[in-house]
A and B are shown apart, each in its own frame.
Chain A
Amino acid sequence: MIYFDNAATTYPKPPQVIRAVADSIEHCGNPGRGAHSLAMRAADEIYNCRKEAAELFGATPERVIITSGATHSLNMAITAHNSLDGTILISDLEHNSVLRPALASGKEVRIFNTSLYLYGEERTAAILASIDSLSRGASILITTAASNICGVTLPIREIGEYCREHGMLFIVDASQAGGLYDINVTRDCIDVLCLPGHKGLYGPMGCGLMILGENVTLPPYMHGGSGVDSRSKAMPELPPERYEAGTLPLPLISGLRRGIEFVKKKTPRTILEHEKKLARQLKNELEHQRIRVFLSKCESGIVLFNIDGFESEEVAEFLDKQGICTRAGLHCAPLAHDTLGSTGAVRVSFGIYNTAEEVREFSRKLRLLHK
């Protein structure tokens, strides 16, 4: 089996991630409730996960909030500001996990242009100009750091600086960027960074992070037991417990901790370069077969393509029968597909465990479909 769907979730997971999930079920109690040995073992696991994430993203451990995933984090961040006046700005590449809560807020949502066909400083300048043309009356800007369908990256630091200068709250969806690109909450002026544990951080599905910038306080999203201040009718004043009602998914967080350690040991840069190299190889092989690949430059390990005469789902189904996992359709990002001029496509997304030989095998198998 060849797994080319790492943008959906990375697979396989490092063995230490899998072991940690099982170990914590076997040896830990509920964190943050008692102070007995099993409870403290659990609490230490959670804290160490926060520490690892804080180091990776330039934050402090207590501002790393555990959630059930990027969608949960984004909903917390976006709905926390429903009481703010002003419009919301989003990019034209956003996933439904940003688009839907933004629209559900009832506020006006304006979409800025990411200028996909420009690169480097030209793209940065064009993006900032587009934001500037739409920012009058805007109080929040939400953007992906890297697209989930074409791997296009946005200039997060420059956008963050713009938002800070213009008093806009800056929320970043790092679902496809976390663990690959250098993102620093403090340096990049990010107010809220949202990401899942199970993609670039190689953790298990079901957990994610919401990382708060300095001096950012949100109203709690969920209310319930926090393990402290039980007589208070309100959630605690301070993070992280302010945002974490109920029992945390300790086994998943244990796994996530080992995933982050794995990524830091390999280094994000090494993982990204590996994925980009495979993407370039695949792109060359597809173009050799005269298959249309969206966007010419490989900024990440994602390649999007279509084969004339075939629906994308047909291609994915064929590949599945050949033992190759890809994803077809709109990838929960119809806005991004509209921006690319696509009505659905086949996405190949690499991870650290994919190889050049797998790319060659993919190319051989694909040839059987259309030649």
Chain B
Amino acid sequence: MTHGARLAVSSVTYAIQAREILAKYGITANIVRLHPTETPNGCAFGLEIPPRDISRAAGLLAKAEIQFTKIQR
């Protein structure tokens, strides 16, 4: 059972890149595979982030021009 908030990213490359960026700002992100129904085309990588950090993480990734979508659970 996971308790983090999730962001879907384009691929594992962007997941690792995002994880590195967030780590620089003290945000721990875990790379996960998303359920096929969680994204339009299925089979995606996501970042699991503590809910308290999700807004800040989204801002940092947007600034770094990494595309992501928030997964609603």
Contact = CB atoms under 8 A, between A and B. Distances in A.
Interface string A227-251: 1111110001110110000000000
B69 interface: no
A227 B67 CA distance: 17
A44 B44 CA distance: 17
26 contacts: A32-B12, A35-B12, A35-B31, A35-B32, A35-B33, A35-B45, A40-B31, A43-B13, A43-B16, A47-B12, A47-B17, A61-B13, A61-B17, A62-B13, A62-B14, A227-B11, A228-B44, A228-B45, A229-B41, A229-B44, A230-B42, A231-B40, A231-B41, A236-B10, A236-B11, A238-B11
Interface in B28-59: 31-33, 36, 39-45
Contact of B12 (A43, A230, A231): A43
Contacts of A228: 10-12, 41, 43-45
Nearest to B31: A35
Contacts of B39: 229
Interface residues on B, range: 10 to 19
Nearest to A237: B10
Interface of B: 10-14, 16-17, 31-33, 36, 39-45, 67
A232 B39 CA distance: 11
Contacts of A232: 41
Given A34-B33, A43-B12, 13 more contacts: A32-B12, A35-B33, A43-B13, A47-B13, A227-B12, A227-B43, A229-B43, A231-B36, A231-B40, A231-B41, A236-B10, A238-B10, A240-B13
A227 B40 CA distance: 14
A231 B34 CA distance: 14
A229 B12 CA distance: 12
Contacts of A47: 12-13, 16-17
B16 A229 contact: no
A229 B42 contact: yes
A21 to B, nearest CB: 21
Contacts of B40: 231
A31 interface: yes
A241 B10 contact: yes
A24 interface: no
A237 B42 CA distance: 15
Interface residues on A, range: 20 to 34
Contacts of B11: 32, 226-228, 236, 238, 240-241
A264 interface: no
B23 to A, nearest CB: 13
B20 to A, nearest CB: 9
A180 B67 CA distance: 35
Nearest to A31: B12
A41 to B, nearest CB: 12
Given A35-B31, A40-B31, A230 B43 contact: yes
A227 B14 CA distance: 13
Contacts of B17: 47, 61-62
B13 A241 contact: yes
A40 B32 CA distance: 10
Interface string A202-238: 0000000000000000000000001111111000111
Contacts of A226: 11
A368 to B, nearest CB: 55
A120 to B, nearest CB: 40
B29 to A, nearest CB: 12
A50 B42 contact: no
A59 to B, nearest CB: 13
Nearest to A35: B33
A244 to B, nearest CB: 9
B4 to A, nearest CB: 14
Nearest to A62: B13
- Nearest first, the 6 A-B pairs at minimum CB distance are A229-B41, A230-B43, A231-B41, A35-B33, A232-B41, A32-B12
A231 B36 CA distance: 9
Nearest to B10: A238
B69 to A, nearest CB: 13
Interface in A143-163: none
